[in-house]
Structure 1
Amino acid sequence: MQKTLYPASASTSFTLNTESVHQLYIETSGNPLGIPVVFLHGGPGSSCNNNHRRYFNPEHYYIICFDQRGCGLSTPHGELTDNTSQHLVADIERIREHLNIPRWLVFGGSWGASLGLLYAQAHPQRVSGMILRGSFLAREQDLFWFAQHGASEEFPEAWQAFIQDIPQGERHDLVAAYYQRLHHGDNDTQLKYAAIWSVWSGKVATYNLGQRTDKHSANNAITNDAQRQTDPALVRKVKIETHYAQHRYFIAENQILDNLHQLPKVPVTIIHGELDKTCLHTASRALAAGIANSEFIQLADTGHLIEEANMIAALVDATDRFVRQYQ
């Protein structure tokens, strides 16, 4: 029988000032005397939700979830000033210090895996282990697959909708084209292109779930995404995502793989769905090859999302096994 999410546990929340205009929204739950774990959400531009704490046994874990700068309930919402990978790594360390945690398990997926690896390379002595899902390595090839050529071959109709309003002369760099419209366009332009970006991103991320629904439901989901263009929060979210993409995540090309030797010698579990069309499974394989004694798990019939049943089962199993390793 597959493992499922733990029941929802009560949480407490607080905000934490940074050295900048940003205030971080943080939630803690579980057992304060348990194994500390920090949950790093994806995006950039996404946020945590109430299910994220449910991947950990609340009797054994002290669970820390937070919304990254400009995201979710952190304020100011959508703020791009002082919003770089280096600032986010500093925020993780700031939260750890505030909570007086000596070391913690780093749990991250997609962009959260990138951020977790950057943090572990910068502060190896503060990491007790890592669980990484659908890892994104923030290389040119990883971004190119999603926003230039790769996923485009998998979803040709959705891709045409993504590029049709971009002039031919700008299609050689679609990240730059969308960045220009989202960050320098008028309000209507920002709303329009945030919605188009969101529909493409959602198609690539959720297609494995869409295969399990009837066509009418899938079409409704796309329509609902398009209708979200009236929501300014969507614009702020996509602006953060394109801010990071345009600046190549504020790190050197191949920085994560080039610095694997800086990671602590701790248990590392790397999980990737073989049907993931958002993040390349070769990225996770490269991580596993470069991290001695890491465990690589490729899941059949599984895509990118943390909410897929096989992914839930594998992640909960990984957190349960870490409890046994930790003791």
Structure 2
Amino acid sequence: MDFSRLQAASKVTDEWKYPQGRPNRTGMLPVDQAPDHTLSWEEYGNPDGEPVMFLHGGPGGACAPVMSRFFDPGRYRVILFDQRGCGKSTPTVASHGAAVALVRNDTDHLVADINRLRDALGIRGPMHVFGGSWGSTLALVYAIRHPEHVASLVLRGIFLGTREDLLYMYQGNAAVFDRTPYALSEPGAYVAYPDEWKAFVEVIPPEQRGDMMGAYKAIFDARPDDDVGRRAQLRAAVAWSVWEGAISNMVPETGDPGKFGEADFALCFAQIEAHFFARNLFLEPDYITRNVARIAHLPIHIVHGRFDQVCPLTQASRLVAALESVGAAPATYVRTNAGHSAMEAQTVLALTAIMDGLPRL
């Protein structure tokens, strides 16, 4: 029996409303020295249109041209850029090592980088800020600190990044996995993805599985000086990356993990995520929910997959409750029958419809 169509059932195919365009221009923006952090950026759509700042996920992910397709190219000026250490920005973990690429790679600096890019591209008034997963976190933090620069927030797959959110994704039943691998002993994404979870857990020895994030971080913090050590570090990075890539889709990929299995992407993605997660995203506890009053006047649009296992729907529920507590219910709150990925068909349709329906600036 051919299961190929079933396997792709939740993915976007011909649902895109707008064609893939080519960038109007691209560039590299220096934002720091020693190390010389430089951001790769691209501009799509109408050069004179309403500006949209696109914030990718991770932390540690990257942008791709397909991300410009959520937006009407006749109306919007869309800015895609790779955050510090990510994608085509430099330096990266893969090319320069973590000891260089992770220096001053934190939330405060990423927020400041958005303003540097704004200024460099001549964006003077408010802009739409569009972000998913970690991009939603960064968008919310940016809006809390610079509400005067934000016309609207369009957010997908809300990520608040509390300890319990991270344990759900990375800890699960790992502590007892060697004895009872299918025990539902703790909440976690492993419940829906047992085979993928097995591959992620078994990288770490049983005696270290009481703290999976800490065990992975120890591997990433090592500075291997031989091929054996480098291979072990790469294996861990790929396992971390592939785990997240697999559970991002309601119907996981079979056989081809895509970019998540590529060495350079995995090294950057896994090590930057572990770097941020070990430090609570460089934010005070409950920073976003405690500061939502600062963005109560902004139109906030939320799209979240009901079956999201990277950022479970309860994270959106907590954000909505915090907004409502200050009298600022979201302008839109759509729960799609989808997983976490921005490329799930229902999520694509919802986000595109929201952008089409925004009042013109």
TM-score (norm: length of structure 2): 0.82
- Equivalent position amino acid for 1:255 in 2: Y
Match of 2:353 in 1: 317
Decide whether the 8 Å contact of 1:274 with 1:281 is kept in 2.
yes
- CA-to-partner distance for each residue in 1:128-154, whole Å, 9 max, x for gaps? 001000111111111111111211222
Decide whether the 8 Å contact of 1:124 with 1:264 is kept in 2.
no
Decide whether the 8 Å contact of 1:120 with 1:126 is kept in 2.
yes
Deviation at 1:226, TM superposition (A): 9.0
Decide whether the 8 Å contact of 1:151 with 1:277 is kept in 2.
yes
- CA-to-partner distance for each residue in 1:206-249, whole Å, 9 max, x for gaps? 2x233xxxxxxx54225x78964xx2442222111211112221
Q: Give the distance between the partners of 2:293 and 2:137, measured in 1 at CA.
A: 15
Q: Which one of 242, 256, 262 corresponds to residue 288 of structure 2?
A: 256
Decide whether the 8 Å contact of 1:125 with 1:264 is kept in 2.
no
Match of 1:213 in 2: none
Structure 1 165/31 Cα, relative in aligned 2: closer, same or farther at 3 Å?
Answer: closer
Match of 1:7 in 2: 19
- Equivalent position amino acid for 1:203 in 2: A
Q: Give the distance between the partners of 2:158 and 2:207, measured in 1 at CA.
A: 32
Could you say what secondary structure the match of 1:220 adopts?
Answer: coil
Q: Give the distance between the partners of 2:112 and 2:231, measured in 1 at CA.
A: 35
Could you say what secondary structure the match of 2:41 adopts?
Answer: strand
Decide whether the 8 Å contact of 1:44 with 1:241 is kept in 2.
yes
Correspondences of 1:73-88 after superposition (within 5 Å): 73-78=88-93, 79-88=101-110
Decide whether the 8 Å contact of 1:38 with 1:105 is kept in 2.
yes
Match of 1:280 in 2: 312
Structure 1 232/130 Cα, relative in aligned 2: closer, same or farther at 3 Å?
Answer: closer
Decide whether the 8 Å contact of 1:37 with 1:61 is kept in 2.
yes
Q: Which one of 106, 111, 117 corresponds to residue 140 of structure 2?
A: 117
Match of 2:98 in 1: none
Correspondences of 1:160-171 after superposition (within 5 Å): 160-171=198-209
Identity %: 36
Gaps of 5+ in 1: 211-217
Higher-helix-fraction structure = 1
- Equivalent position amino acid for 2:191 in 1: E
Deviation at 1:310, TM superposition (A): 0.6
- Equivalent position amino acid for 1:240 in 2: I
Give the count of matched residue pairs.
312
Decide whether the 8 Å contact of 1:3 with 1:316 is kept in 2.
no
Decide whether the 8 Å contact of 1:29 with 1:53 is kept in 2.
yes
Deviation at 1:156, TM superposition (A): 2.6
Deviation at 1:201, TM superposition (A): 1.4
Q: Which one of 177, 202, 209 corresponds to residue 245 of structure 2?
A: 202
- Equivalent position amino acid for 1:195 in 2: V
Match of 2:235 in 1: 192
- CA-to-partner distance for each residue in 1:166-200, whole Å, 9 max, x for gaps? 23332121111001112215211111111211222
1:53 aligns to 2:47 (yes or no): no
Q: Give the distance between the partners of 2:167 and 2:29, measured in 1 at CA.
A: 35
Q: Give the distance between the partners of 1:34 and 1:236, measured in 2 at CA.
A: 33
Gaps of 5+ in 2: 1-13, 94-100, 173-187
Q: Give the distance between the partners of 2:75 and 2:287, measured in 1 at CA.
A: 34
Deviation at 1:32, TM superposition (A): 2.3
Deviation at 1:163, TM superposition (A): 1.5
Could you say what secondary structure the match of 1:307 adopts?
Answer: coil
Decide whether the 8 Å contact of 1:270 with 1:297 is kept in 2.
yes
Q: Which one of 37, 54, 60 corresponds to residue 22 of structure 1?
A: 37
Structure 1 274/60 Cα, relative in aligned 2: closer, same or farther at 3 Å?
Answer: same
1:145 aligns to 2:168 (yes or no): yes
Match of 1:303 in 2: 339
- Equivalent position amino acid for 1:288 in 2: V
Structure 1 30/232 Cα, relative in aligned 2: closer, same or farther at 3 Å?
Answer: closer
Decide whether the 8 Å contact of 1:18 with 1:91 is kept in 2.
yes
Deviation at 1:263, TM superposition (A): 1.4
Q: Give the distance between the partners of 1:227 and 1:283, measured in 2 at CA.
A: 27
